[in-house]
Amino acid sequence: MSEQPRHPGRPDPAMTTEWLRGAGHESDVVMSSRVRLARNLAGAAFVNRASRPERMKVLESCRSQLERAPIGPTVSWHDLHRTPSNERTLLVERHLISQQHARGKQANQTGGPDEPRGVAITFPDERISVMVNEEDHLRIQSISSGLDLARTLAAAEAVDDALESGLNFAFSPRFGYLTACPTNVGTGLRLSVMLHLPGLRLIGNIDKVKLAAKDMSLAVRGFYGEGSEAIGDFYQISNQTTLGKPERVLLHELESEILPRVIEYERAARQMLLTKRRYHFEDAVHRAMGVLCHARLMTTEESMQHLSLVRVGVVTGMIGHLKHEEVNHLMLLTQPGHLQLLAGRELNQDERRLARAELLRTRLTPRK
Amino acid sequence: MSEQPRHPGRPDPAMTTEWLRGAGHESDVVMSSRVRLARNLAGAAFVNRASRPERMKVLESCRSQLERAPIGPTVSWHDLHRTPSNERTLLVERHLISQQHARGKQANQTGGPDEPRGVAITFPDERISVMVNEEDHLRIQSISSGLDLARTLAAAEAVDDALESGLNFAFSPRFGYLTACPTNVGTGLRLSVMLHLPGLRLIGNIDKVKLAAKDMSLAVRGFYGEGSEAIGDFYQISNQTTLGKPERVLLHELESEILPRVIEYERAARQMLLTKRRYHFEDAVHRAMGVLCHARLMTTEESMQHLSLVRVGVVTGMIGHLKHEEVNHLMLLTQPGHLQLLAGRELNQDERRLARAELLRTRLTPRK
């Protein structure tokens, strides 16, 4: 293992994370590419059917295999049933675990914060995380900045192979990988990309994209995945089919056919705004900047909405003194968990709004 | 006559005007004090009943008396039936003539822009103006910065005396001065003050002030007088009674009894905001400043609303780099007529919004 400068036991709120790095292909529109593989251990009950001792046993088997076949040079492990709530919130905000996994609750509302479960995360890049005892025994997540589904899938498959070398996965020759929810049976694969579509929202064409995605059996979700609202013009587009289509077909459809069209559609919207509605576009972007640089109280939602406009202002060259990765990073830092860990204490809602506004002012105001 | 540096023929849009000077008593709350006297010539039909030749004759009589007994050391005279529309707009924005006088229309919608009518204005202070052939043959206006009704009335009465020395005013021993509208019969006097009440609006108590004023037979009007909306938290409070009460009684009631209470009420609201809702108050003020310093397009109404908050921010010490007279002056400069005269050409609505936003940014952004 290589030496790392920081303690791997806890993600550092001051550090950015892979999916917000702002690098990679098409990063003016695509924030990140994410691959998830759902796997379960043969001969063990699914999580929502398992007793506590059974879950504990699954947790131990998975953890010891993760130690035998580590997912990266430095890996942090979190027993989530022993992790304080604010640190679990931090992991959710960094998209390393799901909200469901943070709460320890199953979709049927059984379980709770002390359910035996955990997550392994590569440190410090946070590109790979493996949740144990979420909805499935294992959820392998691989994430990359920009549009890069093929390499992201390859990274997830390498982890899958490493885990399978010591674990016996539930697999049916007829159906493929078996999963707790039938929608994931087959490949157990979800490919998703987080898109930033402020141009399409400003010209009023977001609903067309949603409808087109639906026609192609794609799901459109918000910033925090399933059940979350689109905030700050961020949309996650992902496949819904996992049965009957091989991985490479799913991947090709999404990465080479569908996404390039959405990306071009967003770029055309931005170009139209820049040429035909330039003053209105600049006005919207600079007002967002004005509010962020001057407000004294700020909610998460409002902040995300303004940062979205600032981000497109940076990408289109209207705002010169910032880089879009700085804007991305602020989207993370202004989340409640991050704010509180930066402050070093719990903050009530008013204190968070005050601290968020101050952080934004300090980071965004051009230095004199 | 004293030498004046500028041509008195046309008010200079770059210069401020008396009522926006930001000086005088209670200027944290009271923008200006205004006195108006309505007078008519005996033996001549009221303006809305007079033929064009009759109106022309009234105009000539009044103008020659204004020349014999000038209202100030330097006086500019404007034949409004020969004045271009944009210059008339400028005079309205500077509160030197009424909207009705600019249009040349009577309340009954007779008349039009070529009706013979005019205005004499003291230059460069613009403290006195005398409209000829508005609703009455003569409307004498005296205006001062801050709360100063007694001296403002004295100045109007001096003009009244000077005019009466050469003109025969319609006067009834029983009713007093006769006027075109019965509501002005008697003293022909209207006393009014322009108040800035952002504190009361922010705590939701403006309607209480309006109701109390109504109970005391006072009229509450907007920034541009009769029929205009309150914009930017500015309210004109004035007497409605002109019959049966001597001038000094009206004046004492308003200046010594009613207004001190409204002023204290507004100050208490600001104090409450500063102590109990400090962050929300600061947030509102600084957001207004942020939008003004960053927006690329701005309407008059939005600009007035933000400038109102900036003004209270300056007065309460939240904003250090501006004086409240600078903010007052911007309220004038951002009006459509002023903007166009500053630009030196007619501007369409989009161009005005663009020019207004640019002017505000340039004047309000702290110099580095």
ipTM: 0.87
Q: Is there a single domain that holds both residue A257 and residue A142?
A: yes
Handedness of CA A275, A280, A281, A283 (dihedral sign): positive
Query: Which among A287, A295, A350 is the nearest to B286, CB-wise?
Result: A295
Q: Is there a single domain that holds both residue B154 and residue B172?
A: yes
The domain of A307 spans 278-364
Smallest Cα–Cα separation from B22: which of B145, B200, B182? B145
Contact A294 B296 (CB under 8 A): no
Instruction: State the Cα–Cα distance between residues B86 and A138, nearest whole angstrom.
Output: 74
The reported pLDDT for the residue numbered B1 is 34
C-alpha angle with apex A304: A299 to A307, nearest 5 degrees? 120
What are the residues of chain A with a beta carbon less than 8 Å away from any beta carbon of chain B?
Answer: 279-280, 282-283, 286-287, 289-297, 350, 354, 357, 368
Flag whether A3 is in a domain.
Answer: no
Distance from CA of B152 to the nearest CA of A (A): 40
Contact A283 B289 (CB under 8 A): no
Q: Is there a single domain that holds both residue B285 and residue B261?
A: no
Flag whether B3 is in a domain.
Answer: no
Query: Which among A287, A290, A295 is the nearest to B283, CB-wise?
Result: A295
Residue B367: closest CA among chain A residues belongs to which residue? A368
The reported pLDDT for the residue numbered A222 is 80
Chain A residues whose beta carbon lies within 8 Å of the beta carbon of residue B294: 286-287, 289-291, 293
The reported pLDDT for the residue numbered A4 is 39
Return the CATH number at B55. Answer: 3.30.590.10
Q: Is there a single domain that holds both residue A208 and residue A350?
A: no
Flag whether B182 is in a domain.
Answer: yes
Residue B283: closest CA among chain A residues belongs to which residue? A296
Query: Which among B279, B294, B350 is the nearest to A287, CB-wise?
Result: B294
Domain count across chain B? 2
Calculate the CA dihedral of residues B25, B28, B30, B31 and round it to 10 degrees. 100
Instruction: State the Cα–Cα distance between residues A243 and A246, nearest whole angstrom.
Output: 8
Flag whether B11 is in a domain.
Answer: no
Contact B314, B322 (CB under 8 A): yes
Domain's final residue, options B216, B244, B268: B268
Neighbouring CB atoms inside 10 A of A43's CB total 7
Q: Is there a single domain that holds both residue B91 and residue B160?
A: yes
Neighbouring CB atoms inside 10 A of A313's CB total 23
Domain's final residue, options A226, A245, A268: A268
- Within 8 A by CB and 6+ apart from B152, the residues are B33, B34, B35, B142, B143, B144
In tens, the pLDDT along A276-306 reads 999 999 999 999 999 999 999 999 999 999 9
Instruction: State the Cα–Cα distance between residues B70 and B75, nearest whole angstrom.
Output: 7
Instruction: State the Cα–Cα distance between residues B227 and B195, nearest whole angstrom.
Output: 17
Contact B317, A303 (CB under 8 A): no
Contact B133, B118 (CB under 8 A): yes
pLDDT tens for chain B, 368 residues: list them.
Answer: 333 334 556 667 778 788 788 788 999 999 999 999 999 999 999 999 999 999 999 999 999 999 999 899 999 999 999 999 989 999 999 999 999 999 998 777 778 888 999 999 999 899 999 999 999 999 999 999 999 999 999 999 999 999 999 999 999 999 999 999 988 999 999 999 999 999 999 999 988 988 888 888 888 888 766 556 678 899 999 988 777 778 888 899 899 989 999 999 999 999 999 999 999 999 999 999 999 999 999 999 999 999 999 999 999 999 999 998 899 999 999 999 999 989 999 999 999 999 999 999 999 998 76
Instruction: State the Cα–Cα distance between residues B133 and B40, nearest whole angstrom.
Output: 9
CB pairs under 8 A between A and B: 53
Domain's final residue, options B268, B292, B323: B268
Q: Is there a single domain that holds both residue B101 and residue B232?
A: yes
Q: A320 to each of A223, A365, B308, B360, how far by Cα in Å?
A: 26, 12, 31, 21
Flag whether B5 is in a domain.
Answer: no
The residue ranges of chain A whose pLDDT is under 70 are 1-11, 224-229, 368
The reported pLDDT for the residue numbered A9 is 63
Q: Is there a single domain that holds both residue A255 and residue A330?
A: no
Contact B284, B202 (CB under 8 A): yes
Dmax (CA) for chain B in angstroms is: 66
Distance from CA of A363 to the nearest CA of B (A): 15
Helix then strand count (H, E) for chain B reads: 13, 10
Q: Is there a single domain that holds both residue B211 and residue B296?
A: no
Q: Is there a single domain that holds both residue B97 and residue B167?
A: yes
Query: Which among B279, B293, B297 is the nearest to A283, CB-wise?
Result: B297
Chain A residues whose beta carbon lies within 8 Å of the beta carbon of residue B283: 295-297, 357
Contact B290 A293 (CB under 8 A): yes
- Within 8 A by CB and 6+ apart from B25, the residues are B146, B147, B148
Q: Strand, helix or coil at A145? A: strand
Contact A294 B286 (CB under 8 A): yes
Tokens representing B85 are 């529309």
Chain B residues whose beta carbon lies within 8 Å of the beta carbon of residue A291: 287, 290-291, 294
Beta strands in A102-209 (DSSP E): 118-122, 128-132, 138-145, 171-172, 176-177, 189-196
Contact A257, A264 (CB under 8 A): no
Chain B residues whose beta carbon lies within 8 Å of the beta carbon of residue A365: none
Flag whether A4 is in a domain.
Answer: no
Residue B298: closest CA among chain A residues belongs to which residue? A283
Contact A179, A285 (CB under 8 A): no
Question: Mean pLDDT for chain A?
Answer: 91
Q: Strand, helix or coil at A276? A: helix
Among B273, B287, B318, B322, which would you mutate to test the A interface (most chain A Cβ atoms within 10 Å of its Cβ)?
B287
Q: Which residue has the tokens 């705004």?
A: A273
The reported pLDDT for the residue numbered A5 is 37
Instruction: State the Cα–Cα distance between residues A261 and B61, nearest whole angstrom.
Output: 78
Flag whether B7 is in a domain.
Answer: no
SS3 track for A230-259: CCCCEEEEEECCCCCCCHHHHHHHHHHHHH
Q: Is there a single domain that holds both residue B73 and residue B158?
A: yes
- Within 8 A by CB and 6+ apart from B268, the residues are B199
Flag whether B290 is in a domain.
Answer: yes
Query: Which among B279, B283, B295 is the nearest to A287, CB-wise?
Result: B295
Position A300, amino acid: T
Distance from CA of A270 to the nearest CA of B (A): 18
Distance from CA of B267 to the nearest CA of A (A): 22
Q: Is there a single domain that holds both residue B171 and residue B255?
A: yes
Contact B294 A295 (CB under 8 A): no
Residue B355: closest CA among chain A residues belongs to which residue? A279
Contact B280 A287 (CB under 8 A): no
Q: Is there a single domain that holds both residue B250 and residue B122?
A: yes
Chain B residues whose beta carbon lies within 8 Å of the beta carbon of residue A283: 295-297, 357
